Amino acid sequence: MPAATKSIAVLGAGITGLTAAHRLDKQGHRVRVFEQQNRIGGAVGTDIIDGWLCERGPNSMLANDPAIMALIDELGLSEEYVKANSTARKRYLVKWGMPMATPSSPVSLITTPLFSFGAKRRLITELFQRPRQHPDDVSLGQFVEDHFGREIVDYALNPLIGGVYAGDPSQLSAQHAFPTLWEAEKSHGSIIRAMIAKMSKRGKSKKPKTPRVGIISFKHGLQTLTNALAARLPSDALSLNTEVTQITRDGSWHVTWKHDGSEHTETFDMVVSALPASGLANLQVGSSNDHPLEVLQEVLHPPVDSLVLGYRCKQIAHALDGFGMLVPEIEKRSVLGVLFSSSLFAGRAPDGHASLTVMVGGTRQPELTGLDTDELLRRIQPDLSAMLGVEGEPVFRRHQSWPRAIPQYNLGHGRFLDAIAACEEQNQGLFIGGQVRDGIALPACISAGEKLAARATES
Ligand X SMILES: Cc1cc2nc3c(=O)[nH]c(=O)nc-3n(C[C@H](O)[C@H](O)[C@H](O)COP(=O)(O)OP(=O)(O)OC[C@H]3O[C@@H](n4cnc5c(N)ncnc54)[C@H](O)[C@@H]3O)c2cc1C
CB of residue 243 vs ligand X: minimum separation in angstroms? 5
CB 435 within 8 A of CB 16: yes
CB 417 within 8 A of CB 424: no
Helical H runs in 112-241? 117-125, 140-148, 150-152, 158-164, 174-177, 179-188, 191-204, 223-231
The residue (of 194 and 349) whose beta carbon lies closer to ligand X is 349
The residue (of 36 and 158) whose beta carbon lies closer to ligand X is 36
Does 434 help bind ligand X (rule: CB under 6 A)?
Answer: yes
**Residue among 20, 71, 229, 244 that touches ligand X (CB under 6 A):** 244
Q: Which residue, among 284, 290, 292, has the nearest Cα to 254 in the 3D structure?
A: 284
Q: What is the DSSP letter of 56?
A: S
Mark the segment that binds ligand X (CB under 6 A) among 140-148, 264-272, 423-431, 436-444.
Answer: 436-444
Please name the residues in contact with 174: beta carbons below 8 A apart, sequence gap of 6 or more.
134, 137, 138, 139, 140, 142, 143, 144, 181, 182
Mark the segment that binds ligand X (CB under 6 A) among 57-65, 71-79, 175-183, 341-349.
Answer: 57-65
Mark the segment that binds ligand X (CB under 6 A) among 33-41, 180-188, 196-204, 423-431.
Answer: 33-41
**Residue among 68, 442, 452, 453 that touches ligand X (CB under 6 A):** 442
Does 34 help bind ligand X (rule: CB under 6 A)?
Answer: yes
Does 35 help bind ligand X (rule: CB under 6 A)?
Answer: yes
Does 11 help bind ligand X (rule: CB under 6 A)?
Answer: yes
**Residue among 102, 227, 435, 447 that touches ligand X (CB under 6 A):** 435
Does 44 help bind ligand X (rule: CB under 6 A)?
Answer: yes
| Contacts of ligand X in 13-32 (CB under 6 A) | 13-17
CB of residue 293 vs ligand X: minimum separation in angstroms? 12
Helical H runs in 232-372? 277-281, 341-344
Helices (H) and strands (E) in the chain, counts: 17, 21
The residue (of 165 and 311) whose beta carbon lies closer to ligand X is 165
Sign of CA dihedral 408, 413, 418, 419: negative
Report the SS3 class of residue 78: coil
CB of residue 408 vs ligand X: minimum separation in angstroms? 12
Report the SS3 class of residue 141: helix
**Residue among 6, 10, 12, 327 that touches ligand X (CB under 6 A):** 12
Strand partners, 308: 357, 398
Angle between helix axes 179-188 and 191-204 (nearest 10 degrees) is: 90
Q: What is the pattern of x (binds ligand X, CB under 6 A) and - over residues 247-286?
A: ---------------------------xxx--x-------
The CA distance from 82 to 213, in Å, is 10
CB 401 within 8 A of CB 305: yes
Mark the segment that binds ligand X (CB under 6 A) among 40-48, 181-189, 263-271, 373-381.
Answer: 40-48
| Contacts of ligand X in 101-120 (CB under 6 A) | none
How many residues bind ligand X (CB under 6 A)? The answer is 36
Does 388 help bind ligand X (rule: CB under 6 A)?
Answer: no
Does 402 help bind ligand X (rule: CB under 6 A)?
Answer: yes
Sign of CA dihedral 22, 23, 28, 30: negative
CB 141 within 8 A of CB 159: no
The residue (of 228 and 274) whose beta carbon lies closer to ligand X is 274
Q: What is the DSSP letter of 154?
A: I
Query: Looking at this protein, which amino acid is placed at residue 435?
Result: Q
CB of residue 451 vs ligand X: minimum separation in angstroms? 12
The residue (of 14 and 99) whose beta carbon lies closer to ligand X is 14
- Report strand pairing: 270-273 vs 7-11: parallel
| Contacts of ligand X in 300-319 (CB under 6 A) | 304, 306
Binding site for ligand X (CB under 6 A): 11-17, 34-37, 42-44, 57-61, 243-244, 274-276, 279, 304, 306, 402, 405-406, 434-435, 440-442, 445
